[in-house]
Amino acid sequence: MAGKVIAVVQQKGGSGKTTIAVNLAVTFAGRGLSVALLDTDPQGSLGRWFMARRERLGAAGVEFSTSSAWGVSYECEKLRKTADIVIIDTPPKVDADLRPALREADLVLVPVASSHVDLWATEGVLDLARRERKRVTVVLNRARAGTRLGEEVAAAALAMEAGLAEAQLSNRVAFAETLGQGLGVDETGKSAARAEIRALADEVMALF
Ligand SMILES: Nc1ncnc2c1ncn2[C@@H]1O[C@H](COP(=O)(O)OP(=O)(O)O)[C@@H](O)[C@H]1O
Ligand SMILES: [Mg+2]
């Protein structure tokens, strides 16, 4: 597979950018794809996850690097050549700094945690991605299936004229726990969480 770039962006902190970046990376790697993670968030939680992973497993099974917002193009140019999939994790903001990551992206994933506040934070990111003419897919995270809030957020996301992933990630301890352990849910026995991330990975592959 030729290096495809996924940028995970969302202005709202805590929406699940790093969780989705990590779990997609682990799931793709488990399918035999070579995956490179690129962290542009100075908070460095992806790097912490990667260090925990190295300590735990020895070989991480995925590549990891960091770059400044403006170093993204240069890094991506390199990573595309060797990795099947490059996943860029970004800081919680929408401004010009996000542009290089959006420009490099073949697909922009926007996690929206199940609340209206998160949804409101999404418009700015969608505008910016549209200006770069990028394909955007909203992913509902910490979803509460069968609740009115969940349905409202899903309907509002659809109305924003971005793609809405059919796969959703529910609010599950497994997602939080594995992040601290340097793992992805696909590597655990948590079958419900695994089914969700696998469905999302399938959908992302189909979009390429
Ligand atoms: N689906 C989920 N279920 C449970 N906890 C989650 C889920 N998604 C994210 N979290 C937790 O929420 C917090 C913020 O997620 P994170 O991925 O770091 O967000 P961001 O990178 O957008 O700031 C973390 O503690 C993470 O473990
Ligand atoms: Mg993060």
Q: Which among 62, 65, 63 has a CA at the least distance from the CA of 41?
A: 65
Q: Is the CB of 142 under 6 A from ligand 1?
A: yes
pLDDT of residue 151: 82
The amino acid sitting at 36 is A
Measured by CA distance, the residue closest to atom 25 of ligand 1 is 176
Would you say 205 and 177 are in contact if contact means Cβ atoms under 8 Å apart? no
List, in sequence order, the alpha helices (H) in 31-92: 45-57, 72-82
Which residue range(s) make up the domain with 136? 4-207
What was the pLDDT predicted at 117? Answer: 84
End-to-end CA distance of the chain: give it in Å, rounded. Answer: 10
Q: How far apart are CA 67 and CA 87, in angstroms?
A: 13
Q: What's the confidence (pLDDT) of residue 119?
A: 85
> Which token pair is 134?
């990028």
What is the position in ligand 1's atom list of the atom closest to the CA of 171?
3
pLDDT (tens place) for every residue of the chain, 208 residues total: 779 999 999 999 999 999 999 999 999 999 999 999 999 999 999 999 999 999 999 999 999 999 999 899 999 999 999 999 999 999 998 888 999 999 999 999 999 998 888 888 898 999 999 899 999 999 999 998 778 887 887 888 788 878 899 999 999 999 999 999 999 999 999 999 999 999 999 999 999 9
Number of domains present in the structure of the chain = 1
**Mutate-to-test residue for ligand 1 from 19, 144, 188, highest number of ligand atoms within 8 A of CB:** 19
CB 160 within 8 A of CB 138: yes
- Token readout for 12 is 């709202």
Q: Whose CA is nearest to atom 11 of ligand 1?
A: 176
pTM of this prediction? 0.97
Biggest CA–CA distance in the chain, Å, is 45
- pLDDT for res 157: 78
Which uninterrupted H or E stretch holds 163? strand 163-164
Integer Cα distance of 21 and 34 in angstroms: 14
CA distance linking residue 42 with residue 90, whole number of Å: 9
Residue 162's pLDDT is what?
83
**Domain CATH code at residue 187:** 3.40.50.300
